[in-house]
Amino acid sequence: MDILGVIKRDHNEVKALFKEYESLGPNAKASRAKLAKKIMEELVKHDEAEEQTLYALLKERARGSEERIKILEAFEEHTMASELIAKLKKLETPDEEFMAKFQVLIESVQHHIKDEEGNVHKIAREELDKDELNELAPKFEEAKKSVPVTR
Ligand SMILES: [Fe+2]
Ligand SMILES: [Fe+2]
């Protein structure tokens, strides 16, 4: 599997976790808190690994201004997600404010995933060759493992 396949696998996993989160009832406070924490950890690792591998290379390779703007837009969406996660970590889980913010996180990540698989992966297929895409897959996995998870 190349890096784009690995990224899509992660996206599908996190989308399934979103569904699970949204299916929880109002009394499932402990499960909600636990699941939210797991999702945030996954997102932090995934985003950081993307930035260190695929995004870093695409930043160098993107030739056109339009391509560079798409990459920068995706970076910006990562920044927004990590700022939101930092705020969420300071709140009581899962009070009303937490739940409202977490819903915004879910919606913005869903939007980001769509953009990423559409725009960023398209640029990657144009600018990187098959070998590069394959070689980036284990680097992505390694990068994910090296991201410190704050608890
Ligand atoms: Fe991303
Ligand atoms: Fe992603």
Q: Where are the domains of the chain?
A: 3-145
Ligand whose nearest atom lies closest to the CA of 140: 2
pTM, two decimals, is 0.95
Ligand whose nearest atom lies closest to the CA of 77: 1
pLDDT of res. 87 = 97
| pLDDT tens-digit readout, 68-82 | 999 999 999 999 999
pLDDT of res. 150 = 63
CB 57 within 8 A of CB 143: no
- Mean pLDDT across 133-140: 98
111 CA from centroid of ligand 1 (Å) = 10
112 CA from centroid of ligand 1 (Å) = 6
Mean pLDDT of the chain: 95
47 CA from centroid of ligand 2 (Å) = 6
Helix H segments across the chain?
3-22, 29-50, 56-61, 65-90, 96-115, 121-127, 130-146
7 CA from centroid of ligand 2 (Å) = 6
pLDDT of res. 26 = 87
Ligand whose nearest atom lies closest to the CA of 55: 1
Q: In the predicted model, is pLDDT for residue 151 greater than 60?
A: no
Considering Cα of 52, then 55, then 60, then 65, what sign does the dihedral take? negative
93 CA from centroid of ligand 2 (Å) = 25
Ligand whose nearest atom lies closest to the CA of 10: 2
27 CA from centroid of ligand 1 (Å) = 32
75 CA from centroid of ligand 1 (Å) = 7
Dist. CA 105–CA 82, nearest whole Å: 9
30 CA from centroid of ligand 2 (Å) = 27
CB 147 within 8 A of CB 41: no
pLDDT of res. 148 = 81
- Mean pLDDT across 108-128: 97
